[in-house]
Amino acid sequence: MSVVDARAAVTQAHHEEWARVVASLTRRFGDLDIAEEAAAEAFATAVERWPADGVPPNPGAWLTTTANRKAIDRIRRESKRDDKQKEAQLLYDDGPPEPLGAIDDERLRLIFTCCHPALAMETRVALTLRMVAGLTVPEIARAFLVQEAAMARRITRAKDKIRSARIPYRVPSAEDLPARRSGVLAVLFLVFNEGYLATGPQTDPVRHDLTAEAIRLTRLIRSLMPQDGEVAGLLALMLLTEARRTARVSASGELVPLDEQDRGAWDTALIAEGHRLVRERLAAAAAGVAPGRYQVLAAINAVHTSARDIRDTDWSQVVALYDQLVRLDHSPIIALNRAIAVAELDGPEVALAAVDHLEDRLAGYHAYHATRAELLRRLGHSRQSRAAYDKAIDLAANTAEIAYLTRRRDQLG
Amino acid sequence: MQYLVSVIFDSAALASEEEQAAIDVFNDRLQAEGHWVFAGGLGAPSSATVIDNRGEEAMFSDGPFVESKEFIAGFWIIEAPDLDVALKLAAEGSRACNRKVEVRPFL
């Protein structure tokens, strides 16, 4: 086996097995910190050993067993200092890893613990990205626009709180489930977005593993909460976005905007499934159930994916949906996206005025500058447009987006 | 597992009659369901004295919280198997005493 093949196998195993390993170790040892560290050590061992020994026939089982051993080693090391009794207990518990089968529940348990309401929202997202999605601390720090050291502290504090305040490791009771799902959905949406617009010079522009993971977990939650409109809405939103994934990046690794995408390359099965979910929610809305933000976002994407080409898009419908959305979600990013739709309906000048209002809140966000650059270009203000592209390129972290913005800038006269 | 549920308030006003009645009902429930450990109301921060006996002789002073806007007006110590149960009880306690509460685990 070549070193390259073994590395690829470790990467694949990391994508597929990380959350399972962490979840099963957390269940067994009752401690996220031990589970995370042991899982990381097991993967590091795989990087060392697999090129020489070959990839084991069942990488997941190998990793879980190795991580279990690492965790027991650590607990023995620590217990030597204080408590011989604990060591005896551990030896007694040194059984085989959890059987496969309870895996989905394990991961769900891990998700609900990471998304516990006693943790701050930003902490829940960070913890889920680390523990469930297996992102590294630098990747998470970039996704949040904060320093790595600050992110590492945030995650450590969260683990300490879970342990010392005894946040339970379980799926909430049926009674608590609806209230607990909002935080989980917000986290899954963020994981999806990190996959959809992955950050970092060494990262693929679209990380299908993350989008697939977010979709898989959202499907799982939908199977548990089939009546929940927002779960259906989020799943539809993800499917309709994922359907365009392959058309979104060119062969040369450049981002392809919606109006230039080859619509024939969109995944019709995902679109059909997404549209079915949106229709289901529209029927519920017609019956008087007010839709939440994910359902409205899904409806916007349903309008886009129903159009044969960009000129065929029902922009008045898109803007009407954004009007509905800004009442539910006061985020400046929603306002920015509304302005992009307004440009198609009322022209770039009206849109630019709306975008300029957002400067205070979005000056550090690359898409704000990219949107301004595009509108300024359409209005013929080349010099200002170039300056806005420069800022956008400077702030952007997705390789495909940087390539696209650079080309657009260089096309300016 | 025991949790300290601190009542956070910003004036020395005591519980109203209505609040006291609700607190009594809540306390009875804590006892009936086995969550009760201890509870009590506290005098205002202006009644507190700080003692520092780390040096040669004990120093007495007014508390550091006299000037702070919010302070601990009372507390419960409850027994609960995990934070989910503790948070539910604390939410009911907050409703009963009509004040904010903070939940903190004992080590």
Identify the structural domains of chain B with CATH numbers, from first to last: 2-105 (3.30.70.1060)
- Please give, rounded to a whole number of angstroms, the shortest distance from the CA of B105 to a CA of chain A: 5
| A1 pLDDT tier (thresholds 50, 70, 90) | low
Looking at A64-78, A214-228, A353-367, B23-37, which range is the least confident one? A214-228
Instruction: Render pLDDT for A312-369 as a digit per residue (tens, 0 to 9).
Output: 899 999 999 999 999 998 889 999 999 999 999 999 999 999 999 999 999 999 999 9
User: Is the overall model pTM greater than 0.90, yes or no?
Assistant: no
Q: What is the rounded distance in angstroms from the CA atom of residue B40 to the CA atom of residue B75?
A: 6
Sign of the C-alpha dihedral computed for residues A28, A31, A36 and A37 taken in this order: negative
Instruction: Select from A135, A133, A143 the least CA-distant residue to A188.
Output: A133
**CA A178/CA A191 separation, integer angstroms:** 20
B104 touches chain A (CB under 8 A): yes
Selected residue with higher pLDDT from A279 and A78 = A279
Closest CA to A71 of A95, A114, A39: A39
Q: Is B82 on the interface with A (CB under 8 A)?
A: yes
- Place B21 in a pLDDT band, splitting at 50, 70 and 90: very high
Residues of B in Cβ contact (< 8 Å) with A167: 82-84
pLDDT band at A191 (very low <50, low <70, confident <90, very high): confident
Work out the average pLDDT over A134-162: 87
Q: Name the region of A208 (left: φ>0; alpha: ψ -120 to 50; beta: rest).
A: alpha
The chain A residue lying nearest B82, using CA atoms, is: A166
The arithmetic mean of pLDDT across residues A10-23, rounded, is 89
Phi, psi (5° rounding) for residue A375?
-65, -40
B38-65 pLDDT, tens per residue?
999 998 888 889 999 999 999 998 877 7
Query: What angle (nearest 5°) sits at the alpha carbon of residue A197, between those of residues A195 and A203?
Result: 75
User: Tell me, what's the pLDDT at A204?
Assistant: 67
Q: Is the pLDDT assigned to residue A82 strictly greater than 80? A: no
- Tell me whether B84 touches chain A (CB under 8 Å): yes
CB atoms within 10 A of CB B53: 9
> Is the pLDDT score of A125 beyond 60?
yes
pLDDT at A85 over 70: no
Range with lowest mean pLDDT among A25-39, A117-131, A163-177, A206-220: A206-220
Residues of A in contact with B81 (CB under 8 A): 166
User: Side chain identity at A379, as an amino acid letter?
Assistant: L
Q: How far apart are CA B27 and CA B17, in angstroms?
A: 15
Please report the pLDDT score of residue A100 as a whole number: 44
Query: Chain A contact for B39, CB < 8 A?
Result: no
Q: Is A165 on the interface with B (CB under 8 A)?
A: yes
Tell me how far CA of residue A57 lies from CA of A6, A10, A104, in angstroms.
13, 13, 22
Is B84 in Cβ contact with A176 (below 8 Å)? yes
Residue A88 is predicted with a pLDDT of 45
Q: What is the DSSP string of A203-228?
A: S-SS-HHHHHHHHHHHHHHHHH-TT-
Sign of CA dihedral A10, A16, A21, A26: positive
Output the CA torsion sign for A79, A80, A86, A90.
Answer: positive
Q: A168, B83: Cβ pair inside 8 Å? A: yes
Token output for A382: 């080349």
Placement of tokens 């509460």 in the chain: B101
What are the backbone dihedrals phi and psi of residue A93, each rounded to the nearest 5 degrees, phi first?
-90, 10
Report the distance separating Cα A256 and Cα A395, nearest Å.
Answer: 19
Give the model's pLDDT for residue A99.
47
Which of B5, B83, B85 to probe by mutation at the A interface, max A CB count within 10 Å?
A: B83
As a whole number, mean pLDDT of residues B16-23 equals 94
Instruction: From chain B, pick out residues whose CB is under 8 angstroms from the CB of A172.
Output: 84
Q: Which residues contact B23 (CB under 8 A, 6 or more apart)?
A: B15, B96, B97
- Give the dihedral sign, CA A173/A133/A249/A386: positive
Q: Which of A116, A164, A176 lies at the smallest CB-CB distance from B105?
A: A164
Q: How far is A74 from chain B (nearest CA, A)?
A: 22
Beta strand pairing call for B49-52 and B36-41: unpaired
User: Which chain B positions have a beta carbon within 8 Å of A163's beta carbon?
Assistant: none
Chain B closest-CA separation from residue A411 CA (Å): 58
* CA nearest to A168 within chain B: B82
Contacts of A318 (CB under 8 A, 6+ apart): A300, A303, A304, A341, A344, A345
CB contact under 8 A, A176 and B103: no
Q: How many beta-carbon pairs below 8 A join chains A and B?
A: 24
pLDDT grade, residue B15 (50/70/90)? confident
Nearest CA in chain B to A162: B83
A342-413 belongs to CATH 1.25.40: yes
A202: pLDDT strictly greater than 80: no
Token representation of residue A103: 């895996």
Q: In the predicted model, what is the mean pLDDT of chain B?
A: 92
Tokens of A132: 């469930």
Indicate the range of A304-313, A317-326, B18-27, B81-90 predicted with least confidence.
A304-313
**Lowest-confidence region among A193-207, A245-259, A383-397:** A193-207
Q: Residue B105: which of A166, A168, A176 has the nearest Cβ? A: A166
All residues at 6 or more sequence positions from A127 whose CB lies less than 8 Å from its CB, including other chains: A114, A119, A155, A158, A159
> Measured between beta carbons, which residues in chain B are less than 8 angstroms from residue A116?
83
- Both structure tokens of A45: 């061992």
pLDDT at A143 (0 to 100): 65
The structural domains of chain A, with segments of one domain joined by +, span: 4-100, 342-413
- The pLDDT of residue B43 is 87
Residues B8, B10, B14, B20: what is their CA dihedral angle, to the nearest 10 degrees? -40
* Residue of A301, A155, A327 whose CA lies nearest to A235: A301
Q: How much is the ipTM here? A: 0.85
